[in-house]
Chains A and B, each alone.
Chain A
Amino acid sequence: MTLAPENPLAPETPAAFPVRGHTARLPWPFPDDLEAFRYSVNVEPARLVRQTAAGSWGGTIVDLGGEEYGAIMADRRRILDADPHRVRLMPGMGPACWDLLVYYLRDLAISYPHVMELSEHGDVFHWRNHALGTDQRFVVGDASTLPYDPMTFLGREIPDDLLLVKERDGHLCFDAGLVTFAAAWSVSFDVGMTMTEIHNPVPRLTREGVTSRAEQFLRRLPADQVYRRVNWTLSASGSRKLDVSLEELPEWGTDIPALVRDEDWARLQLRIEVEHFIRLPMTGAVTFNIRTHMTSLEEIRQIPAWRRQLAQVVLELPEDLAAYKGFLDYREPAMAWLTAPDRTDPDRTASEKELA
């Protein structure tokens, strides 16, 4: 993987195939043959490269985002600077955050050797990220040697939301998090809760035993395996905005009603979350890190296999799940737009398309 931008001379018009950049790297959340979605413990080994109808994804634990890396990180840092409460650590989670930082910096330096370097002399580490200009020496475990706490330091280097779960009194608890890109939840509200408490609002999940199976899976996660899971919804914003957290509700709360009113379905975003589960060996904490990707219906429309599958899955979803995911009220017109046959001219405006 390289951070070099795409060829600037590439045609602006949507190419038929192969698709480039953002869409080619997108972790399409559905298996090829999936027609109906229900929640399950849909985990698979990490680093497995998956081919999609538009490209491939998944070779690394951290997806820097190609040419979007700089913009995502600028967004992350802006949010952290403006709202320090996006980082929440329960008592005793300091060592686990160091464990997380050491694991990720080591992994990044191997995954992106042309961009990132790490040298170690005992506890003394030297981290360089040439894409962002970071050059930091620090002593593992000594907070005074970093400009931020270790979780924040890592969160300012990679696009993933960082979540750590740890066992307390027989339950897995979400005891540390740096979350700037939450989908309608708040790290301040959820931190310290058990997995069951956090997932109670999701229809069917706890009643059908998915939460307890997922918790069992995380509790028994072996030290020598890394797993991942893909989750999805339609975003609560009709833009690439990743931060649709409860903290920012006033900023995005009217987006979808406006989009629905204007029938501007092209802007609707499929939000894809790739979660990685790693048992950190120094503390036994387990990561639940989330990397969020967005793609618009306009982009999905250009991949025939995707447009058919998304419409099928969204329309088939039972009402309670569609309501939870937030698209019960508008899924029919949105999916009708997505699958309408004569959507080939990219110059037409949304309203013209609706008149056509």
Chain B
Amino acid sequence: MSATLERYPAHLHPGYRTQARALRVAAVAPVAEDVVHVTLVDPAGVPLTPYEPGAHLVLTVGTDAAGEKQRNAYSLTGDGVVPRTYEISVLLQRPEDGGAGGSARVHALAVGDLVEVEGPRSSFAPRHDQRHTLLVAAGIGVTPVLSHARAVARWGGSAEILYSYRPGRGAHLEELRALAEQPGITLHEVVGREASAALLAERLADQPLGTHAYACGPPSFLEAYEAAAERACWPASRVHLERFAAPELDPGVLFSAVLADGTSLEVPPGTSLLEALLAAGRPVPNLCRQGVCGECVVPVRSGEVEHRDLVLSDAEREAGDVLLSCVSRAACEGGVIEVEV
């Protein structure tokens, strides 16, 4: 069995592509103040790759000053079952609020435009054997929650949805209200931080055994969710969340990285291992650069690591054989990490 005669692509059917490719904008519609809903289709009309509820699509939204592709991840809002469209809802992030211009470019899209996408990628999937689900959304965090809710409706599960929004800014409210007409699905709408916290505490305290909870929203909201779940004695393995952005990190310590070929790289405070690797001409796939997406994972041969990402599980950290190069560093000043790059 030595000779290789011919090599085929992994998937014969076009509906399983996840590599970079162009999709066409089929519709753009406002769904709340500063939020547009963009519908993408395959230019040739072939089915799109199915995806898990809570998955995201990576859009190339432009190029930065250095000429590098600027890519943003947006949650898909459908149930993911043999889709013909990919739909995302994007909140405009103004530069004065720290927006880098990506969302403005999505807002500028018009019907007929071609957009480069990668994925879908799954990072916020439901537990397949959940007996019930508590879905928690705040603001534009509603997008993956809508995807989860639609999947529950499609497959006949039960869900309780808690949606916290500011008046006039409740994107996809109508869709959620329509889903809540179905048996087994209820929707709680809440306005204001204190009322949301109180309702969250109440609903977390009143879920059947076997429930998994999923939340998406701004960092302060997710902190409140995690704390409330802990107070209600939820096991951490049943408390799921998706972050838009990671908390600010300190610049970290100076350390060095030894590469597979023996090269040693100095990584000063304020520079990430990923940046050092890229500067040394070592291509490492990466996306969010905030320790959220998991793209820049690097195998570790030795060295004590301070994991600062939000991706690896406790077990994976303990195993210590990988790190996320965009945020994680040596555990102590002057430490050495051997990486397989």
Contacts and interface: CB of A to CB of B under 8 A. Distances in A.
**A interacts with B:** yes
B12 interface: yes
Contacts of A96: 128
Interface stretch (B2-10, B88-96, B140-148, B201-209): B2-10
A72 B122 CA distance: 37
Interface string A80-99: 00000000001111111011
A13 to B, nearest CB: 27
Contacts of A140: 81-82
A120 interface: yes
B10 A45 contact: yes
Given A33-B2, A50-B4, A141 B81 contact: yes
Given A102-B82, A110-B12, A90 B120 contact: no
Contacts, number: 119
B117 to A, nearest CB: 14
Nearest to A47: B8
Interface centre among B7, B16, B80 (most CB of A within 10 A): B16
Interface string A153-182: 000000000000010111000010000000
A145 to B, nearest CB: 14
B12 A92 contact: no
Interface string A44-65: 0111111110001001000000
Interface residues on A, range: 35 or more
Dominant secondary structure at the B interface:
loop
B154 to A, nearest CB: 6
B10 A225 contact: yes
Interface magnitude class on chain B: 35 or more
Given A32-B1, A50-B2, 17 more contacts: A30-B1, A31-B1, A33-B2, A91-B129, A98-B81, A102-B50, A106-B13, A107-B12, A123-B81, A141-B81, A141-B155, A223-B49, A224-B10, A282-B50, A282-B52, A282-B80, A283-B52
Interface string B15-42: 1111100000000000000000000000
A102 B15 CA distance: 10
B7 A106 contact: no
Interface of B: 1-13, 15-19, 47, 49-52, 80-82, 84, 120, 122, 125, 127-131, 151, 154-155, 237, 313, 315
A111 interface: yes
Interface of A: 27-33, 45-52, 56, 59, 90-96, 98-99, 102-103, 106-107, 110-111, 120, 122-123, 140-141, 166, 168-170, 175, 223-226, 281-285
Nearest to B119: A223
Contacts of A93: 128-129
A168 B130 CA distance: 11
